[in-house]
Structures are given as structure tokens and as C-alpha cells.
Amino acid sequence: MSVRSGRQTNVWSDNWCTLSPIRAFITPRAIANAGFSLDTKVADVIADDGHWLWPQAWYDLFPVLINISPVQITPDVNDRLCWKDLEGNLQGFSSWEVWNCLRNRCQRITWASSVWFSQCIPRHSFHLWLVVKNKLKTQDRMAVWEAGSETNLRLMCCPLCNYDRDSRNHLFFQCVYASEVWRKVKSLVDMDDVTDSWDSIIQWMDLNAHSRTAESIICRIVVAASTYFVWQERNSRLFNQNRRSASVLAKVIIDTVRLKIMGFRFGRCPKQQKILDRWLISKKNIDIDPG
């Protein structure tokens, strides 16, 4: 507590001085015997001349009281609840400040803004986050867990290409099927330097995480949508025996991204007009910024 008027701060229980809480070394019985109550405020133990109203005997019993400096009282200003930050500075109390001090800290993630951004499709971003963290239940991870019988583990193969066990790096996008989908989709964005390997994709995400251009934002949406629908197709083949060709799945991804782009607000510059033409979006279907 930052003491101003002293009327909102409990002298015994609140943390307002270097010895707080005072109740830790002065018992409730000693407090009552001195004529105070457990609800006594800081202002109640300060005399008009600014000195403390501790009983004289307390200085012998509790000599540490000498170390409490006098407090300047401002009668018309309420006491303020504060929080000491990591640097030791007093800040206004807020849940954010408390959480910022208490939370575990790890190295800052460079790709975070490529996954979470205001124009993202939330379920796609959540899925992409799982992909980046390699938390999907792919067959290579299940084999490590020893899930299922030994025979079933030997029979595991990628449902998309029927070759080898699926894994994060295989599905995105080294699998023959997924690679074909990825090539068809990325042809609509400026990602020519990005290969079918996951390392190449994550490197692009690192480098472009903070770009605010329309092209970069669309690229991020394309990456998330591609991983989402490839994983959806993998599960559909594995559990429902439903199959779509690479061309059909690529069209689903492109249509989903196109629908998202139609909600953007575009300007009249040639570069943005080129984006609309590439995605076959008519100007009459979108909001054009008059500026």
C-alpha cells in the first residue's frame, strides 16, 4: 500500500512499510493491551506533529519500530494499492502486472505473430500452433508412445500417399499428395522461395512474422489453411475412408482463403489490385478504401 491519507491502510496487516506486516512480530494481545484494535489504520497511529503513537514500552519490546520512518499524510488523497514489478518499481495494481511478475518466462518466440494475428482464421491458427509445436498425434509420435499392438505399428503408413509413417515434416509438405496440394495453393502467393520442407516454411514464418503488408498476411492465412485442411484430409481418409484428390483439396483451401480476403479493406494501389486479380475477386465484392 502507498500511504496517502492513511485511512485505507491497516497498520498491522497491510504491506505499507519495510517491516510489514507488523502483525508478524506484534501479537494481537499486545495490540489490544495498548488500546488499539485489529482494524486500526495508519492514520490512527500518527500524531499531529507526524510522530508515531506507539506505546513507549514497545520501543524496548520491539526495537525494530525505530526503523519505521515517519509518513507524510495527505488527508484528501486515498491510499493506493500498488504492485512491485520485476525491476523493483511500484506500479499501479492490475491483474496484468501481477501475472507478468508471476508467470514463467521462456525465450521469446519469433514465429508467434505468423500464427496469431488479427486477420487469422482462429481454428486454423490454433491448428498451426499445434503443428509448429509438433503436438499432433501423428504416427511417428504414437510409435514412440507404443500405442497399439506391434503389428499395427508395423502396418502404419501415411493415409495420403501410403508410404512410410506420417509425421509433422512428412505431412507438411513432403508427402507426395500434400506437396501437390501445397504447390497448387502457394502459386497464388509470393512464396516461390519456400520449398516443401517444414524447415523452409518455419524460416519464412520467422522472417515475415511482423510484416503488415496484405500479401504477407494472405501468405500466413494460406499456410495455416493448408496445414489445417491437409490434416483434415488425413483424418478423413484414416477414419471415414473418404478421399479427395489433390486438386479438389487445393480448391477448398483456395476458396476458404478467397472468402477471407473478401472481408479485407483494400486500397486502390496497383499492388493491391494485382492481389485481387490473382485471387479472381471482383472489386464490387469487396470494400475499397476511398483514400
Each residue's pLDDT tens digit, 165-207: 889 999 999 999 999 999 999 999 989 899 999 999 999 999 9
pLDDT for res 169? 95
Residue ranges, the chain, pLDDT below 70: 145-155, 284-291
Which of 72, 102, 132 is at the close of a domain? 102
Tell me: do 89 and 153 sit in the same domain. no
Q: Do 124 and 50 fall into the same domain?
A: no
Q: Residues 257, 130: one domain?
A: yes
- 72 occurs within a structural domain: yes
CB 222 within 8 A of CB 256: no
- Asked if 195 and 165 sit in the same domain, the reply is yes
* DSSP strand pairing (90-92 vs 82-84): antiparallel
Residues 232 and 140 placed together within one structural domain of the fold: yes
* H or E element that contains 288: strand 287-288
128 and 232 belong to one structural domain? yes
Residues 259, 132: one domain? Answer: yes
Among 83, 102, 121, identify where a domain stops: 102
Number of alpha helices (DSSP H) and beta strands (DSSP E) in the chain: 13, 4
Residue at 4 is within a domain? no
Look at residue 151 in the predicted model and tell me its pLDDT: 47
The structure's pTM equals 0.68
Of 65, 81, 102, the domain-final residue = 102
SS3 (DSSP) at 273: helix
Q: Domain containing 161: what range?
A: 112-288
- pLDDT at 98 (0 to 100): 87
Please report the pLDDT score of residue 206 as a whole number: 94
Q: Are residues 162 and 261 both part of a single domain? A: yes
Number of domains in the chain: 2
Looking up cell 486454423 gives: 124
Task: Look at residue 149 and tell me if it is in a domain.
Answer: yes
